[in-house]
Structure 1
C-alpha cells in the first residue's frame, strides 16, 4: 500500500453543525464536503455545503467536494451539474470534486452506460474548471464500472473491511463509515489520501486557482529526457523556486519543450509517476534524446534536431546578450 499523504473525513447535512476547530485539533487534515444530491423534490444543494466548506477552510483543513448522483441519462447528468456548478463558484478547493457513483439503481444499466455517464460528469466538471474524480465502493467498481477506461481520473474507493479488495489503482480510501471525531456528533466517514492533489490542481488552474503563467510549449513525440547528473532538479512549475527534488539518473518520457527561454531557462515537461513535471535543460545535467525503442525514429530524430537547434539558438542569443552587457 502507498504511503498515506493525509487523513480526513467527508461530511454532508447528516453530520449537522460541525465544530471545525475541534475537527482540526483532532488531527484531521482534509474534508470532502457534499455539494448536493437528489430527492423527491428534485436536485438540491446540500444546505450545509457553504457552512462546511468555509468552516473547514477557516480551521486550516484542505477541502474537496462530492455529489451523490442518480443521473441515468446524459440529460440528467447535465441537469444535476447545472444545479451544483453554481454552488461551487467562488471557492478554491485543494482536493478534487468527486462524482459519487454508487446508487443501487444503476445496476439496471450496462457497465458501459454507467462508465460513460461517470466520464461525462467528470468531463463537464473539467470543462468548467474543476479537477474531477469519482467515488464508489469495491463491489460496484469491480462489477458495474469499467475502471480501466477511467484510469486517467482519480478514484476514491470505499471498503470497510480493513483493506481494499479492489484490485486497481486508487488515490483515496474511505475505510470506515462509523468514525468518531471530536467536533462531530455521531458517526462520520473516515478517509486516507495517498496523493497530494494540490500541485496538479494549481498547475492546471483548476478549482478556483488562477491559471499559472508560463512559457509557450511545443509538443514532443518519441523523445526522452535523459538525466545524467545527480544535480538535476525538477519542479512543480517553470519556476526554479518551486522545487520538488532531484531526479534519479535515467530517462523519462518527454512531453513538451518551451519554444523560447522562460525565466532564463529552456524548459521541458516530462512524465514521472503518472504526473507531468518540469525541469530546465542544462547541458551538464540533462538533455533530450530520441526514443528509438522499436520504432522507426526518422521523424523523431528530425524533431529532436529541430528542438536542439532551438535550444542552441536560445543559448546563443543569451550569450550575445551577456556579451553586450559586458
Structure 2
C-alpha cells in the first residue's frame, strides 16, 4: 500500500501538547480521543477540544475516536448521545472511529459484537460523520466478523514489523511507544494509506459542505478582551489568524446561533474592519450594554479607527 501521511493518536494521557513541535517533527495528522467510560460512567476526554484545535492550528489533519464499552444498542446510543454533542460544529479531516478492543466485550460473541460496532458506525453516518472502526489483529480474528465491516475503514493496531492481519485496512497503528517532539512521554504512531478529505467533501461529512457557523445579527453586545492571548481571525477558521487583540472592548455585530468548532463565535468591529473570534472564558467574554453604553462603544470604535488611519 502507498503511504499517504504519518501521524499520531493522543488522549488526556499525553497532557498538554506543543502541536507546532509535533508538526515540525513531520507528523501530518492526529486522531484525538473523544472520551470513554470509567467507574463513574461516560466522560469526555478533557483534552479533546484543546487537542483538536491545537492540531488544526499547527496545520495537521484531525480525526477522532472513542473507546467503547457498549454491550447493547441502548448503550451504543448512550455513548453517542454524549460524543455527538461534543462533535457538534467541528470540522474533521479523518473519520470518527469506534475503538472496539476491550476484553469485556469478547463474551458477547462475534455476531452480537460485530452488529453493535456496525450499529454505532451507522448512527455516525446518519449524523453526517464519516465513521470507521479500530481494533487489533488478535481481537479482530477472535471476536469480530471483519467481512461484515469491510465497507467501513479499519484503523488497525499491530505492533509487529508487518501487520499479521490479512484483510484491508486504511490506517495502521504500528507502535505504542513512539517518541515525538512536543509530547511528554510515549504516544502511538500511525500510518495512513487513505486521503479521506475528498470523500468527506463529496459526501458533506465531518462538517464539510458548510461554510461556517450560522450567525445572527445582534445589537448592544460588546466583546471584552481581558487576556493577552486572544487571537482574531479573517473567518471562523483557526488557521485563518490575523493576530492578537489588544486588551479592551469591541462592538459585536453578529454571533453564532450554535457552537462551531466547539466554540461560540462572534464578528466584531476593530479599527477599520470586521473580524471573527471565538469566546474563551479565560481570555474574553461577551457583555450586554444599555443604550448609552452602546453609543459610547460605537463612538470609541470610530475614534480607534480614526487613530489607526493616522498611524
Q: TM-score range by the shorter chain?
A: 0.5 to 0.7
In 1, Cα distance between equivalents of 2:200 and 2:35: 22
1:260: which partner in 2? none
TM-score of the two chains, using structure 2 as the length reference: 0.67
How big is each residue's C-alpha offset from its partner over 1:41-89, in whole Å with a ceiling of 9 and x where there is no partner?
1111100000000000000000000000000000000000000001011
In 2, Cα distance between equivalents of 1:87 and 1:118: 20
In 2, Cα distance between equivalents of 1:164 and 1:126: 28
In 2, Cα distance between equivalents of 1:58 and 1:15: 18
SS at match of 2:56: helix
Q: Please identify runs of 4+ aligned residues in structure 1 that moved more than 2 A.
A: none
Equivalent residues in 2 for 1:178-257, closer than 5 Å: 178-210=177-209
In 1, Cα distance between equivalents of 2:30 and 2:106: 29
1:35 is the counterpart of 2:37 = no
TM-score of the two chains, using structure 1 as the length reference: 0.64
2:127: which partner in 1? 128
How big is each residue's C-alpha offset from its partner over 1:129-183, in whole Å with a ceiling of 9 and x where there is no partner?
1000000000011111101011100000000011100010000000000000000
2:78: which partner in 1? 79
1:22 is the counterpart of 2:21 = yes
2:12: which partner in 1? 13
Number of aligned pairs?
Answer: 211
How much does 1:211 deviate? 6.7
Equivalent residues in 2 for 1:303-314, closer than 5 Å: none
In 2, Cα distance between equivalents of 1:145 and 1:179: 28
Aligned partners of 1:22 and 1:183 also within 8 Å:
yes
**Cα gap change, 1:211/1:204 in structure 2, threshold over 3 Å: closer, same or farther?**
farther
How much does 1:111 deviate? 0.1
Equivalent residues in 2 for 1:93-172, closer than 5 Å: 93-172=92-171
Equivalent residues in 2 for 1:270-309, closer than 5 Å: none
In 2, Cα distance between equivalents of 1:63 and 1:107: 30
Aligned partners of 1:204 and 1:211 also within 8 Å:
no
Aligned partners of 1:31 and 1:61 also within 8 Å:
yes
SS at match of 1:165: coil
How big is each residue's C-alpha offset from its partner over 1:192-217, in whole Å with a ceiling of 9 and x where there is no partner?
000101110110000001179xxxxx
In 2, Cα distance between equivalents of 1:83 and 1:189: 25
1:61: which partner in 2? 60
Gaps of 5+ in 1: 213-326
In 1, Cα distance between equivalents of 2:176 and 2:103: 18
Aligned partners of 1:99 and 1:121 also within 8 Å:
yes
In 2, Cα distance between equivalents of 1:125 and 1:10: 20
In 2, Cα distance between equivalents of 1:90 and 1:23: 25
1:45: which partner in 2? 44
How much does 1:8 deviate? 0.1
Gaps of 5+ in 2: 212-311
Aligned partners of 1:203 and 1:211 also within 8 Å:
no
How big is each residue's C-alpha offset from its partner over 1:281-318, in whole Å with a ceiling of 9 and x where there is no partner?
xxxxxxxxxxxxxxxxxxxxxxxxxxxxxxxxxxxxxx
